[in-house]
Amino acid sequence: MDLFDSIAADAQFRRVGSAPTPAHRAEADALLEGLNPEQKAAVIHQGGPLLIMAGAGSGKTRVLTHRIAYLLATGRAQAGEIMAITFTNKAAAEMRERVGALVGDAQGRRMLVATFHSACVRILRQNYDPAGLKSTFSIYDMQDAQRLLGMVLKAQDVDVKRYTPRSIGARISDLKNELITPSEYISTMGSDPVSQIVAAAYPEYNRRLRQANAVDFDDIIMLTVQMLSENPAIAEYYQRRYRHILVDEYQDTNHAQYVLVRHLVGIGANAVAPGELTVVGDSDQSIYAFRGATIRNIEEFEKDFPNAQTIVLEQNYRSTGNILSAANAVISRNSGRRPKKLWTASGSGDRIVLDALDSEYEEARNVIRHIEALNSEGADWGDIAVFYRTNAQSRSMEEMLMRSGIPYRLVGGTRFYERMEIKDALAYLQAVVNPEDTVAIRRILNTPRRGIGDKAETAIMAHADRYGLSFGAALDAVTQGETIDGLSPRAATSVAEFWTMLADIRTQAESGASTAHVLDELISRSGYLAKLRESEDPQDASRVENLAELLSVAEEFDVERRQSGETEGTLAAFLERVALVADADQVPGDDDRRGAVTLMTVHTAKGLEFPYVFVTGLEDGTFPHRRSMEDMSELAEERRLAYVAITRARKKLFLSRAATRSAWGQSEAMAASRFLDDIPEETVEIGREPTRETYGFSSGTSTSSNSGIAFGSGKPGSLQSTFVKSQPTKRLGSPAVGGGKLGQASAKPALKLEPGDRVKHGKYGEGTVTGIDGSGPQAVARVDFGGTQKRLLIRMAPLKKL
Ligand SMILES: Nc1ncnc2c1ncn2[C@@H]1O[C@H](COP(=O)(O)OP(=O)(O)OP(=O)(O)O)[C@@H](O)[C@H]1O
Ligand SMILES: [Mg+2]
């Protein structure tokens, strides 16, 4: 920082903070103890924007926490002036707790520590009117949003089997993450059928959302950004209020979030009172490209924010040397990254255990053997985590854990809040809070059955459309005695009863009834609970239990609200909390983990650490995921995911793969993951090997490669030749040799391509080859698909020459 900056920062600090007292000073100094010089510099930094860019386990999150505590202890900031953005609500709660422990709970509570989504919901609730919403707006999760989009597509006569709400919804989501409005999209879109459908559906979908007084997840950010940019006075209010903005996991921000940060800090045209910005991240851990996250934000930080400073942390405090070497080796094969020199003072530690088993069941059994051994050596179950690439892989692992009686906790999978009965109960609550919420009301209109069938629903909808009413307003009209074409008197009576019941419970809620009471009233008076209780279906019995669980969640929430003295808008706050829970929020904190092994996907494990980590399913087609194997940028993302997985381990890492894995009822031979090829031999100990390897080594087809897509060097005596290297040639359980998708792809004769060739791709359509890199099995074609550039592994890609 130059002198000018430091004077300016100093002046600002005097203005906003109170002078530190000697007691504070001692407290502040204590916060710096045990930090290395770079960490210290990051904690005490003042003035311009700061980027802390560093590899896994180098203390980024710790620095962020200490920096907040330091700002408070030195009096440079009041707690209410701090906004910290974390990647999950859980991480937010933990950070609040840690800061609380460092500077006192009372201070901790006044800070805003939240995810982007939670922070933006708060801003939108404070400014619903300029954002074009009503105060009681609903938040639609993906399922609700797709339901609404499905209604739109059907109304527009789109073939929803071919163009599913899911795929069109994903396109709209991408647009919102890029802050592209419907009218902007229309002026830039292509002429293909999907673009046409998106162009028609996007504005109508938004219109229906607003009519239902609802927002989807992407709107939460986009509407906040739009509201701030259209209302400079409001932006200025937040800039003055939050003098310090801190963002963890900055590598996973998307464009909309980046623009949001600029508004909140005050950069560019709207800047009146720039605050201090601190972001931390690791471009090697960017794993949310599918949600629009872009490494660009971290790479261009210095350009985006004038006077920015970067601090690099290089010492890893989490893992052993062996674990770190493996992680470094795997990630180093990604091209175009800034090389990092991550080191540890902790010594090389135990070797990494590599096991190859016959099947996924054997693999699970093997993990259990290791877990039992660790436990008998004194490790707590809670010190152990098992990771996999996709949720579907958890099943075999769960089965074995259950059989062996090891306590475990599965994070993710079918989430509690996505269960039918929970969604129904929440829809009842939502309809009470927001009488215009079309998706919620239509969900419960005839659940349980009350004689309002499809015909009645269609008639009500038609009436709403004809008079430009929301669905709820049409129900209101019926209740007021208006007649509607096509609605039978009997159905009309039922509608009136239903709507009157909701109105009655709404009155109770508005006069201060607790969330638990309202919920109880709804599921009882609607007959929902009674219906489940009458049922003989055992599944319905567990549905009743789940509703009981929801009721206790609501009770707990009520207690929490009462204690914090917040009594207004409790029901809406409850729904908001529930709408914003993510898988990762189910992971217990360090202290509450004891007593159970944790199972989760690698995505969910980001930011966490465990003494003992198992990474399973290390096979080409599983991890890296099959979908990503033909696209260079997707493969690079899988590699980052592997880096994230490996770097979660503190003491010991176990890597395993299965030689066969069943999918769709068939057993398929699996080749070892290419990521295993990169792990240095001296860091590993080979454990089990498959007893009946189902495919031979094919060193002939494998050559040394520097294209970043190694299939093993085939060096005699190397790790690859004894353990990992192999290509599937046969598929078990199937008469067709080479019938697996992977087998097919590797068995098919390589396409001969040269620049200028026209090709057709299964997913991207027609394109022109602009160049070829490498040769043989590693040959990569660069292809231009109407402006979109892709690098495709010719051997794998579904390409046809035209
Ligand atoms: N100076 C230090 N002295 C001792 N332990 C440290 C120090 N800095 C960090 N640690 C410890 O190292 C571990 C990793 O720190 P932290 O989680 O903050 O890293 P990170 O960079 O945020 O990692 P990730 O990239 O995975 O998010 C934690 O257990 C933390 O307490
Ligand atoms: Mg971290």
Reported pTM: 0.78
Catalytic residue list: 60-61, 248-249, 285, 648
Determine the pLDDT at residue 177: 96
| Residue 660: CB atoms within 10 Å | 26
Report the top-level CATH class of 416-583. mainly alpha
Residue 64 has pLDDT above 50, yes or no: yes
Q: Closest ligand 1 atom to the C-alpha of 35?
A: 1
| Residue 84: CB atoms within 10 Å | 25
57 lines ligand 1 (CB under 6 A): yes
Instruction: Name the residue of 58, 320, 603 whose CB sits within 8 Å of the most ligand 1 atoms, as the mutation to test its pocket.
Output: 58
Residue 250, classified by CB atoms within 10 Å of its CB into exposed (0-12), middle (13-18) or buried (19+), is buried
CB proximity list for 684: less than 8 A, separation 6 or greater: 322, 326, 351, 352, 353, 354, 719
Q: What is the mean pLDDT of the chain?
A: 85
pLDDT higher at 792 or 631: 631
731: confidence class by pLDDT, cuts 50, 70, 90: very low
Determine the pLDDT at residue 755: 87
DSSP-assigned letters across all residues of 546-608: HHHHHHHHHHHHHHHHHHHT--TTHHHHHHHHHHT--GGGGSPPGGG-TTSEEEEEHHHHTT-
Tens of pLDDT, residue by residue over 301-347, are 999 998 899 999 999 999 999 999 999 999 999 988 888 888 999 99
Query: What CATH topology corresponds to 321-411+587-688?
Result: Rossmann fold (3.40.50)
Q: Round to whole Å and give the CA distance between 253 and 244.
A: 18
Least confident of 69-73, 87-91, 370-374, 421-425: 87-91
Q: Closest ligand 1 atom to the C-alpha of 56?
A: 25
Residue 60 has pLDDT above 90, yes or no: yes
Q: Closest ligand 1 atom to the C-alpha of 62?
A: 18
Tens of pLDDT, residue by residue over 658-709, are 999 887 667 889 999 999 999 999 999 998 888 765 443 333 333 333 322 2
Q: Are 176 and 228 in contact (CB under 8 A)?
A: no
CATH 3.30.565.10 fits 138-212, yes or no: no
43 lines ligand 1 (CB under 6 A): no
Q: ipTM of the predicted structure?
A: 0.99
CA of 194 relative to ligand 1 center, distance in Å: 45
Tens of pLDDT, residue by residue over 601-630, are 999 999 999 999 999 999 999 999 998 988
Determine the pLDDT at residue 106: 80
Q: Whose CA is nearest to atom 4 of ligand 1?
A: 317
Tens of pLDDT, residue by residue over 211-224, are 999 999 999 999 99
Least confident of 63-72, 96-105, 485-494, 593-602: 96-105
Q: Are 195 and 163 in contact (CB under 8 A)?
A: no
CA of 319 relative to ligand 1 center, distance in Å: 10
Q: What is the mean pLDDT of residues 400-421?
A: 85
Architecture of domain 22-130+221-313: 3-Layer(aba) Sandwich (3.40)
Residues whose beta carbons lie less than 5 angstroms from ion ligand 2: 60-61, 607
Q: Whose CA is nearest to atom 13 of ligand 1?
A: 318
Tens of pLDDT, residue by residue over 168-188, are 999 999 999 999 999 999 988
Least confident of 237-241, 434-438, 723-727: 723-727
- What is the sign of the dihedral through the CA atoms of 697, 701, 703 and 707? negative
62 lines ligand 1 (CB under 6 A): yes
Residue 591 has pLDDT above 80, yes or no: no
Q: Round to whole Å and give the CA distance between 57 and 62.
A: 9
Q: Closest ligand 1 atom to the C-alpha of 648?
A: 26
Nearest bound ligand to CA 611?
1
The token pair that represents 221 in the structure block: 């950010």
Tens of pLDDT, residue by residue over 751-763, are 788 888 998 887 7
Cα–chain center distance at 371: 28
Residue 13 has pLDDT above 50, yes or no: no
Phi and psi at residue 607, in whole multiples of 5°? 85, -15
640 lines ligand 1 (CB under 6 A): no
Determine the pLDDT at residue 797: 73
Q: Whose CA is nearest to atom 5 of ligand 1?
A: 317
Q: Are 642 and 334 in contact (CB under 8 A)?
A: no
Nearest bound ligand to CA 315?
1
Nearest bound ligand to CA 608?
1
Q: Round to whole Å and give the CA distance between 285 and 294.
A: 11
36 lines ligand 1 (CB under 6 A): yes
Task: Output the known binding site for ATP.
Answer: 54-61
What residue has token string 């009981």? 548
286 lines ligand 1 (CB under 6 A): no
Determine the pLDDT at residue 714: 33
Q: Which of 19-23, 57-61, 546-550 has the highest mean pLDDT?
A: 57-61
715: confidence class by pLDDT, cuts 50, 70, 90: very low
Least confident of 51-60, 363-372, 562-571: 562-571
Determine the pLDDT at residue 188: 84
Residue 396 has pLDDT above 90, yes or no: no
